[in-house]
A and B are shown apart, each in its own frame.
Chain A
């Protein structure tokens, strides 16, 4: 049942991402809801679930994008592994910590794409423009991430009560 709920949430987020997030584009940049979800799941899910879900949503995002297959699987998977492996050693709570890690993962995600596209496909970007876009992308993700984290945190106690220790780590 919890997996069905997670699937529905993901379908909802993917639909928003592909259907009308363009409306909220700022300077040609739109936030990456999937990346934010990966950060959230990496931090709050149990280890295997966090990594598994990160790779899965990365793969779905690859299928729903025009970039080469595997770029998002790689970047999201690495983000998931990072948070799943280090969540016992780092504390990601509060606005500052969430903002910092969302910002860093957004930069990382953008860089992975940049490296993959330039090295594998020979795509040519204007470096100054691209890095400015990555920075704006990271800032936009931070703002959206704080909101999304707040919404997801609201539902977390309910999930805990209904499905104790199935997906989320114990609070």
Chain B
């Protein structure tokens, strides 16, 4: 009771006066503190958001990179699957290899592969894709090998025209094309005719696709025709190839 009386009395004047005096200050102070606290809170929050944002950006980049890797791997596996499926049907023991480099000079046409003697790759093995012949191995070291392309001027494959069975020798011109030489002037050859390996010569098995005829020049005074062949494989865009280690069946 006593307390209540005292409380009521003081409430009448002092508390009201102090309240009246301090309330704007308190209000201002409180709002300032709240503002500052809000600023700090939001600032700190923004710092956290910024950090979170950075982390998420990194995460997105990592995932994009991972996704890219998986897409590349998927495409690689798909290409290898198509490549190997073709050769499995042909009963050949093969090994796939990646193209890791090209000739260091302008003049010769050669590829470096990532498989060497560690994978039983040796000289004179045939290198192909499902589209046809790429070339043959001319040198093999432990983990890499050199492949001479069929378009190199030193490459020569004993060949026949698929339809007419006319024989010839397909040599590289050094300019991205091949020529089939020693085809008799009276032999019937048409544009688009396919040229395949004849199996003679001991390197290329019989029946491998080399290319198709794109140009024929016949001169009356010559003994042979000049026949230009475009390789069936796009040799400038090779990523994976197949090396035939052993040919168990007929082609």
Residues of A within 8 A of B (CB): 14, 17-19, 21-22, 25, 28-32, 34, 60-61, 64-67, 72, 110, 113, 117, 121, 123-126, 129-130, 133, 137
Range, interface on chain B: 20 to 34
Partner of A66, one of B108, B173, B175, B176: B108
List B contacts of A18 (CB < 8 A). 101-104, 112
Residue of chain B at shortest CB distance from A64: B104
List A contacts of B108 (CB < 8 A). 65-67
The 3 A-B pairs with the shortest beta carbon distances in the complex, nearest first, are A66-B110, A64-B104, A18-B101
Kindly state the separation between the CA atoms of A117 and B102 in the bound complex, as whole angstroms: 19
- B residues 77-132 with Cβ under 8 Å of A? 100-110, 112
List B contacts of A66 (CB < 8 A). 103, 108-110, 138, 146, 148, 152, 154
Residue B178 lies at the interface, judged by CB distance under 8 Å to chain A: no
Max chain A C-beta neighbours (<10 A), residue from B106, B110, B153: B106
CB pair B105–A29 under 8 Å, yes or no, is no
Contacts A22-B236, A28-B175, A133-B175; is A125 near B153 (CB within 8 Å)? Answer: yes
Partner of B173, one of A110, A121, A126: A126
Kindly state the separation between the CA atoms of A19 and B103 in the bound complex, as whole angstroms: 9
Shortest C-beta distance, B238 to chain A (Å), equals 10
Kindly state the separation between the CA atoms of A50 and B152 in the bound complex, as whole angstroms: 32
Kindly state the separation between the CA atoms of A17 and B106 in the bound complex, as whole angstroms: 10
CB pair B171–A124 under 8 Å, yes or no, is yes
Residue of chain B at shortest CB distance from A129: B175
CB pair B109–A137 under 8 Å, yes or no, is no
List B contacts of A28 (CB < 8 A). 175-176
Max chain B C-beta neighbours (<10 A), residue from A60, A66, A123, A129: A66
Kindly state the separation between the CA atoms of A137 and B98 in the bound complex, as whole angstroms: 28
CB pair B175–A121 under 8 Å, yes or no, is no
List A contacts of B236 (CB < 8 A). 22, 25
Known: A18-B104, A113-B105. 9 other contacts (CB 8 A): A28-B176, A65-B104, A65-B108, A67-B105, A67-B107, A110-B106, A117-B154, A126-B175, A133-B175
Residue B205 lies at the interface, judged by CB distance under 8 Å to chain A: no
List B contacts of A130 (CB < 8 A). 174
18 pairs, CB–CB < 8 Å, chain A vs chain B: A18-B101, A19-B100, A21-B102, A22-B236, A25-B236, A28-B176, A30-B106, A64-B101, A65-B105, A65-B110, A66-B109, A66-B146, A66-B148, A66-B152, A67-B108, A110-B107, A113-B107, A117-B154
List A contacts of B109 (CB < 8 A). 66
Residue of chain A at shortest CB distance from B110: A66
Shortest C-beta distance, B203 to chain A (Å), equals 15
List B contacts of A124 (CB < 8 A). 153, 171
Residue of chain B at shortest CB distance from A141: B106
Kindly state the separation between the CA atoms of A167 and B112 in the bound complex, as whole angstroms: 33
Kindly state the separation between the CA atoms of A137 and B107 in the bound complex, as whole angstroms: 10
Shortest C-beta distance, A72 to chain B (Å), equals 6
List B contacts of A29 (CB < 8 A). 106
Residue of chain A at shortest CB distance from B147: A66
Residue of chain A at shortest CB distance from B111: A66
Residue of chain A at shortest CB distance from B172: A123
Contacts A66-B152, A124-B171, A126-B173; is A137 near B101 (CB within 8 Å)? Answer: no
List A contacts of B171 (CB < 8 A). 124
CB pair A123–B153 under 8 Å, yes or no, is yes
Shortest C-beta distance, B177 to chain A (Å), equals 10
CB pair A17–B104 under 8 Å, yes or no, is yes
